[in-house]
Each structure stands twice: as structure tokens, then as C-alpha cells.
A and B are shown apart, each in its own frame.
Chain A
């Protein structure tokens, strides 16, 4: 007289904790991977603030490795 609802519940938990339910395990791991990328890419895909292009121009003007070598 097992309750089908609780069997599913146990299977899902068992997959997470002990890993015999390989399919559920794989599914949850691929979900973790895609969530992680979504979170990260949310920032990666943002436009780069202007301050960085400006910063690199300034750095290059100040102490370009080339000009340092040429001057030495």
C-alpha cells in the first residue's frame, strides 16, 4: 500500500543525496550548469562601461610597453 506520491518524492531526494537515480542526478546537474551560465552571462552580456576603454587608452599613453622599451 505505498503512496505513489511519496515514492516520487523519495526518488527525487534519493537522487540528490545518494546518487542511485542517475537520470535525475544528471538532469539536476545539467540544470545547475545552465543556471550557473545564465547567472554569469547576465553580466557578461552587459555593455562594457565606457570607463574601461578610457582607462586602457590612458594606460597605453602613460606606460606603453613599447614606448618603455623604445625609451630604454
Chain B
């Protein structure tokens, strides 16, 4: 009669890759992320009676993982990120993949967002949860998730457009003007 637990075990296993990615977005890629996933799986398994059958196991485990993170890791988050370098150190190995905005640039921009906005953006934009599911995971209103995601996107767009605008070369024209000015100054000095 192991059918129920076999199914649940399979469902838990299927959730592990995305739990690891979500954990990595909170504490950085590495053992700490996996410890957080392990804690969530253990708590989930130990509290199966609080799981409503037929609902989304993945969303439920994300909620548990997030709660575990906020109760255990919040205080040391900054320190952990410095030690593990979050996604950034891994991404340094990647060549530029998308024109002049590579993933390392993107990660840096993402890191500047307030954590609630970053989390909402990841749940919606990367984990593929609905706004309703994300609201349940974060324990807030659907409207709050929407506004966090919108603010996160607007801020990233601003950061990334400024970076790509720099690549269009306003600096070059400034430099051209400066070099003309310098040359003229030098010439006029030499002449005078």
C-alpha cells in the first residue's frame, strides 16, 4: 500500500529542480540553497496533513521554503551572498549571450532590486506561477504581487536601457567634442 507515498515522493522529487532555483535566488547558488531545499522537503513531508490534496504541491513547497528562509536565513542573507557570490560568480563563466546585455549584467541589475520585488518577479517571470499562487506563496494580496512585479520590471528596464544606451556611444561623441576642443586649445596655444 505504498501508492500514496510513492506518488507524493515522485511529486516532491519533481519539485526539487525549481525549489533549488528559487532557493538560489534567495541565498545564492550552493550548499546553503540545497540546505534550504532539504529543510523545505523535510518540513513538507512532516506536515503532509496540512496539505490539501488536489492543490499545487509545488506552490505549497515554495511557501514552506520561503517561510524557512525568512525564519532562518534573513539575518545572514547579505553575508551569505558575499560568501557564495549568488548567481554572479557562476555566470562569469558564460560568454555574452544576448547582445551587449549579458547575464552577469542582468544579475547585477536584479541584485539591486528590493527583495520583495525580486522575489515576485522570479515567482511570476521564471517559476511560472500565477499571480494568485504567487500571492499565496508570499502571503500577500494579488494586487501587491502585481505592483511588485511591475515596479521590478520598470526598474530593470530603466537600468538595462541606460546600459544599452551607453553602448550607442554618447560617450564617443562627447569624447570627439572634447578632443576637438583640446586640439584647438593646443593649436591656439602653439600659435599664440
A binds B: yes
Question: Is B141 an interface residue when CB atoms closer than 8 A count as contact?
Answer: no
Residue picked from B13, B25, B162, B164, most chain A C-beta under 10 Å: B164
Size of the chain A interface, CB-CB below 8 angstroms: 44
B20 is an interface residue with CB less than 8 A from chain A: yes
Bits for B73-113, please: 1 = Cβ < 8 Å to A, else 0.
00000000000000100110000011001010011001000
**What is the interface size of chain B, counting residues whose CB is below 8 A from a CB of the partner?**
54
Q: Is the CB of B170 within 8 A of A6?
A: yes
Contacts A39-B107, A43-B21; A12 near B13 (Cβ below 8 A): no
Listed in ascending order, the chain B residues whose CB lies under 8 Å from chain A are: 1-5, 8-9, 12-13, 16-18, 20-21, 24-25, 29, 33-34, 37-38, 41-42, 45-46, 48, 87, 90-91, 97-98, 101, 103, 106-107, 110, 121-122, 125-127, 153, 156-158, 160-162, 164-165, 168-170, 173
User: Which A residues contact B (CB, under 8 angstroms)?
Assistant: 3, 5-6, 8-9, 12-13, 15-17, 24-25, 28-29, 31-46, 48-49, 51-53, 55-56, 59-60, 63-66, 70
